[in-house]
A and B are shown apart, each in its own frame.
Chain A
Amino acid sequence: DIQMTQSPYSLSASVGDRVTITCRASQDIKKSVAWYRQKAGQAPELLLFGASRLESGVPSRFSGSGSGTDYTLTLGSLQPEDFASYYCQQYYSLPYTFGQGTKVDIK
């Protein structure tokens, strides 16, 4: 199985801050990575797929990059609704696997 190592585990930030979350895969996953935001008590929602493709309706302050084994989610300017948990997911091969998650809370 492909392991996804996500970091940091948690971070504190303020509204307007730029935030970066990273995921490292245990093998080359050829940009087959998605990012999700999960607000407290809610289901996850897709933000990006294909490492950098923004899902329809997702604000442009979210961006993604990376290739090979290393991928990054960037939130350009944190908004109040962005204080949540974030997960990466590889879909290069089954079983799909997720990173451990990053909780973003208010500083």
Chain B
Amino acid sequence: EEQLVESGGGFVRPGESLRLSCAASGFSFDSYNMNWVRQAPGKGLEWVSYINSASNRIYYGDSVKGRFIISRDNAQNSLFLHLSSLRAADTAVYYCARKGSGFGGYLDLWGRGTLVTVSS
């Protein structure tokens, strides 16, 4: 079964850092481009970051640019998101999501998410 499982969320103070992980299984992780998408409590979906299979094309949303870093380890079938200089507005469930194998950036497999809470 194809699966994505996020971990690493938790409660942090403003200005602190956190590292999220996403473990992939059941498919050839190194063949797929990956994304992080977040959802603030009671709100809609916000795309956060993209990384291609070779890690040589990386993009970020404006709200996290310069503070978050996406990376991956294909040997470990894992995707990461390093969050720094965290703000209350970063409080959200963070999902890792696989880009579909066809043309275009639709997201065909999602993890269950990990909650990040930023509060003083």
Complex: A101 Cα to B46 Cα, angstroms: 11
Interface size on B, residues (CB 8 A): 22
Give the residue of A42, A44, A45, A49 whose beta carbon is less than 8 angstroms from that of B102: A49
**Which of A15-23, A75-83, A91-99 is the interface stretch?**
A91-99
Q: By CB atoms of chain A within 10 A, which of B47, B62, B112 has the most?
A: B47
Main secondary structure of the interface of A (DSSP, over half): loop
Chain B residues whose CB sits within 8 angstroms of the CB of A1 once the complex forms? 62
Residue A34 lies at the interface, judged by CB distance under 8 Å to chain B: yes
The answer to whether A43 and B61 touch across the interface, beta carbons within 8 angstroms, is: no
Q: Tell whether A46 pairs with B100 under 8 Å between CB atoms, given A94-B50, A94-B59, A95-B59.
A: yes
Residue A89 lies at the interface, judged by CB distance under 8 Å to chain B: yes
The answer to whether B95 and A97 touch across the interface, beta carbons within 8 angstroms, is: no
The answer to whether B100 and A44 touch across the interface, beta carbons within 8 angstroms, is: no
Residue B105 lies at the interface, judged by CB distance under 8 Å to chain A: yes
Residue A66 lies at the interface, judged by CB distance under 8 Å to chain B: no
* CB of A15 to closest CB in B, whole Å: 26
